[in-house]
A and B are shown apart, each in its own frame.
Chain A
Amino acid sequence: MGKQKKRLGIFSLTSCDGCQITFLDMDEDFLDLLDNYEVIDFPLIKDGTNLFEEVDIAFVEGTPVNDEEIKTLQKIRKLSKKLVAFGTCATFGGVTAIKDFSDDKIKKEIKKDNEYLNLHDNIKGIGDIVKVDAYIRGCPPTKFEIKNLLQTFLDGKEIEHRKSPVCIECRKNGNPCFLKEGIACMGSITYSGCDSICINNKFPCYGCRGPVEKANADSLFLVLKNKIGMNDKEVKNMFMLYAGTNKRYSNLIKNG
């Protein structure tokens, strides 16, 4: 008898589905995974999805926006030995959470139309609702991190958290510094692992992976305002784009 395969579930809450597409874009590597993993649930590519079967590891993409999705998330948690918050929406709420930072005028409009949509007005990462065992950040996440996490899980090891910001990767890649050129960039406080892909492509970091543990968000906030010369609205918009729901950013957006 061959070795017992690990049971895998890939689930999606409200999202763009891009994290799941990244999974499929692993192509041959995705098919190779099937030597060690049995895919139990993956509604994007597989029917018979019923959320009745237990899995060893579940990936959850997206963020819950209503009661029904919270229930789905809780059910997934119950059925899963390990649960992975998969991507920026699952980690922080992502762009879906921007609406909760809207001014009162827009909020009033949303409320009017929300009668039958029943959307919550405090979108957050899934880790604030259920216990999460590991995070894969990024919008979109990288294939390497998906592969790495699944291998680490097979080996029975713990996922190591990155302590350095995107800045370190960026310098290794020899990119000129946007901040020094007077252009807003969040690489100095953003969780690394993307290999500074945006900056390599001459586009500044907008912080899609959220803050690194020791991020000095307050200091960057002031630099963007005072040294780069962004107005209050521009800086706040930048901080709320992907990870505005984490406390360090939301405090700055509300009070900064």
Chain B
Amino acid sequence: MVKKIQIDYITKIEGHAKLYVKIDEGIVKDVRMEVFEGARLFESLLIGKKYDEVPIITSRICGVCPQAHSIASIDAIEKAFGHVPNKSIETLRELLLIGQIIKSHTLHLYFLALPDFFNKRSVIELAKEQKEVLNLGIRLKKLSNEITTIIGGREIHSITNIPGGFTKAPTDEELTTLQKNIKSSLEDSLEGIKLFSSFSVPDYSNKTEYLYLKKDENPNVKGTVICSDNICNSVEKYADLMNEFVEEYSSAKHVTIGEKSFFVGALSRINQTLIPDDIKKILDKNSILFPSYNPYYNNLAQCIEIHILLQKAKDLIKKIDVGEVFHHKITPKKGKAVSALEAPRGILFHEYSFDDKGYVTKANIITPTTQNLKNMENDIMKILPSLLDKPEEKIKFELEKLIRAYDPCISCSTHFLDVIWE
């Protein structure tokens, strides 16, 4: 008997996608994450644009991770033109990226994923009974917005960070206040870890390649080497590693390494991070061990990452000399460069070629969600047999929970178009 399960609109993820599953005689025959968000063809509409408009446009790829895109653009532009930013500008960009990751994580964890664990349909229902828990999320999200606003000028689609530096520097007073607010929110971020480690997740593991970025031998949100337990590949040669292709059922591209799916994102990064004792204690209580290859733990990994990144932000602020933060004039030149950074959902690549006047002649962008799509489909295929004796509604709920754990960003995944320029 052939059974089909279809979720026509996967809610509580960013963007529009559906899931289609086909089962024949108890065997899963087909799993498709069908992205039906319209494509926006960013890589083609960038062609002919001058370099200074590039980060403005790429920021609009995603309202959840706009700073990740604009910073990736700016890094690649400066690299192509041979400009090296000073330490304070570099540090401020890293801080902005950290604020961005925390914003995206808190939004996903507390507004989209949390209702699942309380068997509620939405954060609106959750707010009625779990006000305290939601307030915790709101406080953390506000702090992340404070970071992105002080540095970038506003919460979504930053204004100040442009090729060459920043149009406006934060003041010492602003940074001191931010430092203080970060310190006092560390209790909240630990509370979040306690909360999410108390939720039970299905016993499942699928050890594919878990990729992350490394800089000077350490995992870092801005990196030069793409790593996993078995892979070590320079960012410049990302195209040799990644196999990008089209599945006709989806307006998003898919990516594999060779033929194999892989994982990027918070879980991959936390697997490589030395977990501090205070967090370890909480995890031990619930018998949770990292590294883990259970994608359901991506939520918890995001919680841990919020705490660790807040600690890091505290240290970074100390290194910023606001007197060094300004806008350097940069001179376009013909060239090509690639940049990679850890966006909230995993490694993000931006690559551009410019002509001698600084106009884009070629652009390639690979987002984390496109990298995770195949792994997500494979996980669904593997988990599904254990769910088949359950009622259809329950199966759908469990699959949606898995998809949400990946925190897919569909808007980010649909901007492809292969344009080959001679």
Contact = CB atoms under 8 A, between A and B. Distances in A.
Which has the most chain A C-beta neighbours within 10 Å: B16, B141, B159, B418?
A: B16
Contacts of B141: 25, 27
Which has the most chain A C-beta neighbours within 10 Å: B11, B62, B66?
A: B11
A25 B168 CA distance: 24
A238 B62 CA distance: 20
A46 B45 contact: no
A112 B47 CA distance: 17
Interface in B11-54: 11-12, 14-16, 36-41, 44-45, 47-50, 53
A139 interface: yes
Contacts of A66: 38
Nearest to A97: B45
B111 interface: yes
A44 interface: yes
B14 A203 contact: no
Interface in B90-148: 107, 111-112, 121-124, 127, 134, 138, 141-142, 145
B142 A140 contact: no
B138 A28 contact: yes
B61 interface: yes
Contact of A47 (B36, B121, B134): B121
B167 interface: yes
B61 A201 contact: no
Given A12-B16, A31-B127, A43 B66 contact: no
A16 B37 CA distance: 10
Contact of A49 (B11, B41, B45, B153): B11
Interface string A111-147: 0010011010000000000000000000110000000
Given A43-B9, A45-B111, A203-B159, A18 B36 contact: no
A44 B64 CA distance: 12
A20 to B, nearest CB: 7
A47 B38 contact: no
Place the interface of chain A in its size category. 35 or more
A25 B156 contact: yes
B140 to A, nearest CB: 11
Contact of A202 (B37, B121, B156, B167): B167
Given A17-B62, A34-B127, A45-B12, A233 B48 contact: yes
A110 B156 contact: no
Contacts of B418: 113
A34 B124 contact: yes
A21 B148 CA distance: 14
Contacts of B15: 17
B39 A39 contact: no
Interface stretch (A74-82, A101-109, A149-157): A101-109
Contact of A106 (B44, B168, B411): B44
A190 to B, nearest CB: 15
Contact of B159 (A46, A106, A197): A197
Contacts of A139: 60, 157
Contacts of A17: 14-15, 62-64, 411
A197 B149 CA distance: 11
A232 interface: no
A48 B57 contact: no
Contacts of B379: none
Interface in A46-63: 46-49
B61 A45 contact: no
28 contacts: A14-B40, A15-B63, A16-B60, A16-B64, A18-B63, A25-B145, A25-B156, A27-B141, A28-B138, A39-B122, A43-B9, A45-B12, A45-B111, A46-B11, A46-B123, A46-B124, A66-B38, A95-B45, A99-B45, A103-B48, A109-B420, A113-B417, A117-B38, A140-B63, A203-B168, A233-B48, A234-B50, A241-B57
